Chain A
């Protein structure tokens, strides 16, 4: 990474406000890639995405194109998508199966599933008295320096050293525990479909919005009201309770006063949690059957503990937003200061009845698909912020709401109100540390 654009990042973040350059400046973005995305743990994928040896999915970590591949034995590998010969990409499709190894389509160098060099065509004698050496790592595919997974969720870090994954996740580990514990079998399985949506805005605006309890009833009023009307029509017409999916939309009409009672929690490294508001324990036969299965698996007490966890979103800063009770996950891939790719997945709770999967699927459709009526209005807000932040009419973005009134204990910040801008302050505190320190 070139150093000539090195900029002074001190002073961009204050406890209650941040400079607009954090969102619009290309040099700041370059430094974010180098000091945040190329150092910390970034979400790569889920182990069930690649069930068979040779199965792979490609993705990006910062500016690096990576491959998640299932190895020959147990386990997965995270490799740079690059042939060490001439530098060609090795996998040109988003996902597939490479059989028992990678083969470059340019000169047929071949590699094992762990990235080690297997063969070069007609190589006998070809490299005699050259500096090529078959055991030199530079002639193998390069693995991510560090890779760890937790309950099937695979993370990689491009830095050789740093805190281990569990230490780094800290309190945000609840995202994966809450999602997996809700499965009677204690595991989730990914549904092999990834929606990709490009936001014309800075990656941080999306993460801030995920924890922003002031925006939903403003931004999503039109959808919330429309769904409420149809929900009532269905009830009047059929005399039955409308599907839960209508509630997922009409819940956006929840008034300010209720949003303000929610709790938000900020953890070290910028991870955050927003408490749930939808109440996902209806007493319909499907849910009762599911809760019965949970009690059979875990026992009365533990099942009740799991089912009463009430989370809306957990952010695993900076690459992931997890909605554990509905088994949704949005991975954040910044492309430019004003361009962000989100990769959106959902999961099936192993051992849960089919109707419970349908809840996850309905939410995946209504909120996360490319036809979503919800994000349609979010993405426009993000873009308007990105455009407005270019204006020379003020350099600061305000995060003053309830500033100085958060309760802090052992580095964990609990907000005094649901609409407090504590999560944004917590994310920028971590951002500032990463940007100043490097790792």
Chain B
């Protein structure tokens, strides 16, 4: 990974880079809102048709396919999860959980000048309220975003929890 600041003169970003950063940040904030508002159709719409949501079991994991993961879902599996969590007989959603996502420390690692595709990393802090209890999830996002006429779409969202290898008190019902 090469932080974008290395490509600039003495750390001074150009106006174009600021615009990209601003657009990317707005995309990440909207994604956070979609999760907190539990708008699962909108959530699925954030991904490309071949997109994946990936939460590895350790931060030094380099591949997702064919090895254990905490999450590794294509759009079809994400559809199962979205349908399940909204099913009236999803007993563990009675009561449902609520979340608040804060996304910060956004850095553009790569930007393709021709396509405008970007690779972005950021930090997240998620607080979940469920069944009278609060849980915290924190860690790092890495988004591979495809630039489309309708805005950015996620090709891969990698989510590294700082406690990925720790014991989980209960499970994670929806995407972090």
Do residues A381 and B91 form an inter-chain contact, with CB atoms below 8 A?
A: yes
Known: A198-B170, A230-B76, A370-B172. A377 touches B68 (CB 8 A): no
Do residues A371 and B172 form an inter-chain contact, with CB atoms below 8 A?
A: yes
Looking at the assembled complex, report how far the CB atom of A291 sits from the nearest CB atom of chain B, in whole angstroms: 22
Chain A's interface size range is 35 or more
Looking at the assembled complex, report how far the CB atom of B140 sits from the nearest CB atom of chain A, in whole angstroms: 17
Of A198, A246, A380, the residue contacting B169 (CB under 8 A) is A198
CB neighbours (8 Å) of A346 from chain B are 68
Pick from A275-283, A314-322, A357-365 the stretch touching chain B.
A357-365
Interface status of B34 (Cβ within 8 A of chain A): no
Do residues B66 and A358 form an inter-chain contact, with CB atoms below 8 A?
A: yes
Per the bound structure, the CA–CA distance linking A377 and B84 in Å amounts to 11
Pick from A152-160, A171-179, A218-226 the stretch touching chain B.
A218-226
Do residues A225 and B87 form an inter-chain contact, with CB atoms below 8 A?
A: yes
Of B67, B70, B79, the residue contacting A230 (CB under 8 A) is B79
Interface status of B149 (Cβ within 8 A of chain A): no
Interface status of B69 (Cβ within 8 A of chain A): yes
Per the bound structure, the CA–CA distance linking A369 and B165 in Å amounts to 11
**Smallest Cβ-Cβ distance to B79: which chain A residue:** A230
CB neighbours (8 Å) of A361 from chain B are 66-68
Per the bound structure, the CA–CA distance linking A197 and B91 in Å amounts to 19
How many pairs of residues, A versus B, come closer than 8 Å at their CB atoms? 101
Chain A 106-133: CB-based contact to B (< 8 A → 1; otherwise 0): 0000000000000000000000000000
Looking at the assembled complex, report how far the CB atom of A255 sits from the nearest CB atom of chain B, in whole angstroms: 15
CB neighbours (8 Å) of A244 from chain B are none
Interface status of A341 (Cβ within 8 A of chain B): yes
**Smallest Cβ-Cβ distance to A370: which chain B residue:** B168
Chain B 146-175: CB-based contact to A (< 8 A → 1; otherwise 0): 000000000000000000011111111100
CB neighbours (8 Å) of B57 from chain A are 193
Per the bound structure, the CA–CA distance linking A376 and B131 in Å amounts to 13
CB neighbours (8 Å) of A223 from chain B are 80, 84, 90
Interface status of B92 (Cβ within 8 A of chain A): yes
Looking at the assembled complex, report how far the CB atom of A382 sits from the nearest CB atom of chain B, in whole angstroms: 10
Of A197, A364, A377, A380, the residue contacting B168 (CB under 8 A) is A197
Of B80, B131, B167, B173, the residue contacting A227 (CB under 8 A) is B80
CB neighbours (8 Å) of B84 from chain A are 222-223, 225-227, 373
Interface status of A234 (Cβ within 8 A of chain B): yes
Of A229, A364, A370, the residue contacting B171 (CB under 8 A) is A370
Interface status of A379 (Cβ within 8 A of chain B): yes
**Which parts of A159-187 form the interface with B (CB within 8 Å)?**
none
Per the bound structure, the CA–CA distance linking A94 and B57 in Å amounts to 15
CB neighbours (8 Å) of A197 from chain B are 167-168, 170-171
Of B68, B76, B91, the residue contacting A369 (CB under 8 A) is B68
CB neighbours (8 Å) of B173 from chain A are 371, 373, 376
Of B71, B79, B81, B87, the residue contacting A221 (CB under 8 A) is B87
Of B66, B88, B171, the residue contacting A376 (CB under 8 A) is B171
Do residues A198 and B68 form an inter-chain contact, with CB atoms below 8 A?
A: no
Interface status of A249 (Cβ within 8 A of chain B): yes
CB neighbours (8 Å) of B166 from chain A are 196
Per the bound structure, the CA–CA distance linking A213 and B8 in Å amounts to 63
Do residues A380 and B91 form an inter-chain contact, with CB atoms below 8 A?
A: yes
Do residues B83 and A230 form an inter-chain contact, with CB atoms below 8 A?
A: yes
Per the bound structure, the CA–CA distance linking A365 and B64 in Å amounts to 12
Interface status of B29 (Cβ within 8 A of chain A): no
Per the bound structure, the CA–CA distance linking A72 and B22 in Å amounts to 58
Interface status of B43 (Cβ within 8 A of chain A): no
Do residues B91 and A200 form an inter-chain contact, with CB atoms below 8 A?
A: no
Do residues A365 and B68 form an inter-chain contact, with CB atoms below 8 A?
A: yes
Interface status of B145 (Cβ within 8 A of chain A): no
Do residues B91 and A198 form an inter-chain contact, with CB atoms below 8 A?
A: no
Interface status of B55 (Cβ within 8 A of chain A): yes
Interface centre among A223, A358, A379 (most CB of B within 10 A): A223
Interface status of B136 (Cβ within 8 A of chain A): no
Per the bound structure, the CA–CA distance linking A364 and B169 in Å amounts to 18
Per the bound structure, the CA–CA distance linking A371 and B168 in Å amounts to 10
Do residues A379 and B68 form an inter-chain contact, with CB atoms below 8 A?
A: no
CB neighbours (8 Å) of B85 from chain A are 222
Q: List 14 A-B contacts (CB under 8 A).
A: A193-B57, A198-B169, A200-B170, A222-B89, A223-B80, A223-B90, A226-B84, A227-B80, A230-B77, A365-B69, A370-B172, A371-B55, A371-B70, A376-B173
The 5 residue pairs across chains A and B that have the minimum distance between CB atoms: A226-B83, A222-B87, A196-B167, A222-B90, A226-B84
